[in-house]
Structure 1
């Protein structure tokens, strides 16, 4: 017999998780755009938050971030971890939640993956195989 919690987990995030995640994405994007960081690694970068996934209890936010200009964000992740408490404090009054979630930054690799697939699809081997049939 399935418990109701099992079916909820299988169904994906709730509407509330999606709504709060999107709200956090907007607030974080605004803070990152307007804030001058004292960290030299972050001070000169233009960061973008592409997605925020919330835990079911809304206490943890997984933040998918990229750097404009297709630079690798991985070297910046330790700096983002250091400023996460500051960002959380800046977000709290703007969110209207009882508790602002803990932030965990990860590299958003969706664009890299899309670029890799696009290159693969346009490679000579694939183009040859997808080309029109030629009967000899």
Structure 2
């Protein structure tokens, strides 16, 4: 858990998370990156999918109905006909692979429910559901950053930064 007082560890953690978010959404101008259109449509599809999943009672699948599902990202293919949806079932008792199979089995129904929200699209995309492992990666990295060795090293750098600020006259005092 992040502390209320800003520290170097918390600032490094925020920068790291921002870096991960930027890495997951590549620069559209870079080679192999997603176009602005792919990013925009992907966000629209993500929003529409989240709304359909929030009203889980419409989907006649017990697993989907009783599981809260987070849609963290939707990546569109260049022709906008395939949407790869990264999902995470929230709550510890849901099996991610079982939820993905249930979503895949109900993909046509979900497409039909999303159609009014995405009526501006020429084609309704085909959905491919994938497990989003970024949360697992975040927790592993958080555990590493909070380890005593890293905290000690960061504390050492904080002392050096304070001494450098005092020497240059930029101190808070």
TM range (shorter): 0.7 to 0.9
CA root-mean-square deviation: 2.2
Query: Which residue pairs with 2:44 in the alignment?
Result: 23
Native 8 Å contact 1:88 1:100 kept in 2: yes
Query: Which residue pairs with 1:132 in the alignment?
Result: 156
Larger Rg over CA atoms: 2
CA distance in 1 between counterparts of 2:69 and 2:125 reads 20
Q: TM-score, with normalisation over the residues of structure 2?
A: 0.65
CA distance in 1 between counterparts of 2:98 and 2:155 reads 41
Query: Which residue pairs with 2:101 in the alignment?
Result: 78
Where structure 1 has 5 or more consecutive residues not aligned to the other structure, the ranges are 1-7
Native 8 Å contact 2:74 2:86 kept in 1: yes
From 82, 88, 94, give the equivalent of 2:117: 94
Runs of 4+ in 1 over 6 A off after TM superposition: none
Q: How does 1:84-123 map to 2 (within 5 A)?
A: 84-95=107-118, 96-123=120-147
Q: TM-score, with normalisation over the residues of structure 1?
A: 0.82
CA distance in 2 between counterparts of 1:75 and 1:126 reads 37
Native 8 Å contact 2:89 2:99 kept in 1: no
Task: Give the number of equivalent residue pairs.
Answer: 127
